[in-house]
């Protein structure tokens, strides 16, 4: 009697799972989900994707070792020039509050001239200066994030060059436009920093 109940319950679950799978695949093929970047996700989808992203990055970046000399002037100079060349279009610079990319990308790229708790993204670390947040930044620059507009810089840049950018990010929120200009300008003899 008990085994009969278990069997019918199992059948119910199997049927329910089958219906859910068919409905899900049907929805995928229906083309009903809006994919335009100007048509935002509903709260549930956004939460699910954000949780998926943050948990994945936290797990993947857990074993990264942070260099002890991250707060050195040489790293700031090298990382600053690269940040200016590669990142400002999306992540801005002191004195700039928006760009075509910040207006058009979805999810909007974080404004890295603000500290982690001010640029409006839910993620590890209350500020940008704890180890977890630093590892997270390194991992994201190196590997990028799928379907977000954030490319993986790892294939063209070695780890030291990426750490230089991470070093610069730690000080970026406190820089004035003038300080930023001096730190990031590539003089004619600047190639030696890399």
State the residues that interact with other proteins by CB under 8 A.
71-74, 76-77, 80-82, 85-86, 153, 156-157, 171, 174-175, 178-179, 181-183, 185-191, 193-194
Task: Using the minimum distance from each CB to other proteins, give the nearer residue, 81 or 150.
Answer: 81
The closest alpha carbon to 91, from 76, 112, 120, belongs to 112
* Residues 143/124, Cβ–Cβ less than 8 Å: no
The span from the CA of 144 to the CA of 161, in Å, is: 15
Query: Nearest distance from residue 54's CB to other proteins, in Å?
Result: 28
Cβ-based neighbours of 111, under 8 Å, separated by 6 or more:
91, 92, 97, 102, 119
Task: Using the minimum distance from each CB to other proteins, give the nearer residue, 123 or 193.
Answer: 193
Task: Using the minimum distance from each CB to other proteins, give the nearer residue, 107 or 180.
Answer: 180
Burial class (CB in 10 A: 0-12, 13-18, 19+), 181: middle
Task: Using the minimum distance from each CB to other proteins, give the nearer residue, 107 or 171.
Answer: 171
Query: Nearest distance from residue 68's CB to other proteins, in Å?
Result: 13
Query: Nearest distance from residue 163's CB to other proteins, in Å?
Result: 14
């Amino acid at each position: 009697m008990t085994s009969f109940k278990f069997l019918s319950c199992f059948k119910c679950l199997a049927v329910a799972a089958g219906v859910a799978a068919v409905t899900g695949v049907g929805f995928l093929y229906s083309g009903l989900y809006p994919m335009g970047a100007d048509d935002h996700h509903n709260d549930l989808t956004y939460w699910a994707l954000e949780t998926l992203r943050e948990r994945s990055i936290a797990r993947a970046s857990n074993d990264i070792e942070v260099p002890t000399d991250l707060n050195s002037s040489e790293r700031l100079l090298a990382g600053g020039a690269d940040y200016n060349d590669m990142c400002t279009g999306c992540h801005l610079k002191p004195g700039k509050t928006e760009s075509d990319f910040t207006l058009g990308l979805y999810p909007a790229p974080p404004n890295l001239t603000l500290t982690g708790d001010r640029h409006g993204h839910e993620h590890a670390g209350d500020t940008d200066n704890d180890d977890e947040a630093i590892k997270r930044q390194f991992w994201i620059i190196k590997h990028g994030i799928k379907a977000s507009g954030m490319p993986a810089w790892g294939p063209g840049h070695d780890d030291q060059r990426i750490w230089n950018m991470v070093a610069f990010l730690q000080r970026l929120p406190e820089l004035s436009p003038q300080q930023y200009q001096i730190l990031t300008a590539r003089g004619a003899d600047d190639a030696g920093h890399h």
